[in-house]
């Protein structure tokens, strides 16, 4: 699925948008407000910078005597501040539980569950078929475990014969918790699938979820068809 490129919103300082931030001794900044004017492409929910420590305990132990600061951290960290770090017996830091493509008409959603072997096999074998010119968006549900996951990006590469197209979308930075996070793009509008004889046909698409350290947490390939 082709996405539009979106710039990252994770900065180490408060800028012209006037976002509220706090810094611990390691240089970590938790951003309460986005560092750019809000819009349909801006990630929602608590956002964390990619710098410094991602360890929730270390972050909470910094300035432990500052009651107001601790309350502020707890508010932004949510369930993680109460010890919910997800399933710590599972070594994975990111689990994508659902990838959903939604259409702006009566077409049924395309729903895939990459967290299960059967769901991943379905995606690899059946893939996605999208009608040309149709309006669509996608929703990703995912769990973060163990520590803060910083600067998560969705990377897509689509190939058809000699044609290759690559895009990156910044999902954001999220704290660990048992409940899944949900990211929808675009939030307030729709994308349009390409149309015309030039774009119709069969593609091979590769998706990757990569964090700010360059670690690939999930990668898979599937067939994509633009149909008439």
Question: How many Å separate Cα 20 from the centre of its chain?
Answer: 22
Tell me how far apart the alpha carbons of residues 159 and 63 are, in angstroms, rounded to a whole number: 50
- E strand or H helix at 159, and its extent? strand 149-160
Distance from the first to the final alpha carbon of the chain: 16
Among 6-15, 56-65, 109-118, which range has the highest average pLDDT? 109-118
Angle at 27 between CA 25 and CA 31, to 5 degrees: 115
- 44 touches 140 (CB < 8 A): no
User: pTM for this one?
Assistant: 0.74
State pLDDT tens for residues 15-65: 222 222 233 322 333 332 223 334 444 445 444 443 457 888 888 888 888
Which token pair is 69?
Answer: 């600061």
Q: How confident is the model at residue 75 (pLDDT cuts 50, 70, 90)?
A: confident
Mean pLDDT, the chain, as a whole number? Answer: 79
Structure confidence by residue, pLDDT tens digits, 176-198: 999 999 999 998 899 999 999 99
Q: For the segment 128-162, what is each residue's pLDDT rounded down to a tens digit?
A: 999 999 999 999 999 999 999 999 999 999 999 88
Which residue shows structure tokens 């010890």? 83
Closest to 222 measured CA to CA, from 202, 199, 204: 204
Contact 174, 10 (CB under 8 A): no
- Give the pLDDT score at 130: 95
Among 45, 49, 55, 57, smallest CA distance to 23 is for 49
């Amino acid at each position: 699925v082709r996405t539009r490129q979106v710039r990252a919103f994770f900065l180490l300082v408060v800028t012209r948008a006037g976002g509220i931030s706090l810094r611990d001794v390691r240089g970590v900044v938790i951003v309460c407000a986005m560092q750019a004017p809000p819009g349909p492409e801006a990630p929602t929910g608590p956002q964390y910078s990619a710098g410094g420590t991602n360890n929730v305990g270390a972050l909470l132990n910094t300035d432990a005597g500052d009651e107001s600061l601790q309350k502020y951290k707890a508010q932004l960290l949510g369930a993680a501040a109460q010890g919910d770090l997800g399933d710590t017996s599972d070594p994975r830091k990111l689990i994508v539980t659902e990838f959903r493509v939604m259409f702006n008409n009566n077409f049924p959603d395309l729903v895939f569950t990459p967290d299960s072997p059967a769901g991943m096999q379905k995606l690899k074998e059946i893939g996605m078929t999208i009608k040309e010119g149709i309006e669509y968006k996608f929703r990703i549900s995912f769990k973060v475990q163990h520590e803060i996951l910083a600067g998560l990006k969705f990377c897509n590469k689509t190939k058809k014969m000699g044609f290759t197209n690559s895009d990156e979308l910044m999902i954001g930075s999220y704290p660990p918790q048992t409940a899944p996070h949900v990211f929808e793009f675009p939030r307030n509008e729709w994308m349009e699938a390409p149309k015309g004889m030039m774009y119709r046909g069969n593609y091979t698409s590769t998706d990757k979820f990569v964090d700010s350290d360059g670690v690939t947490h999930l990668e898979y390939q599937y067939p994509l068809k633009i149909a008439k």
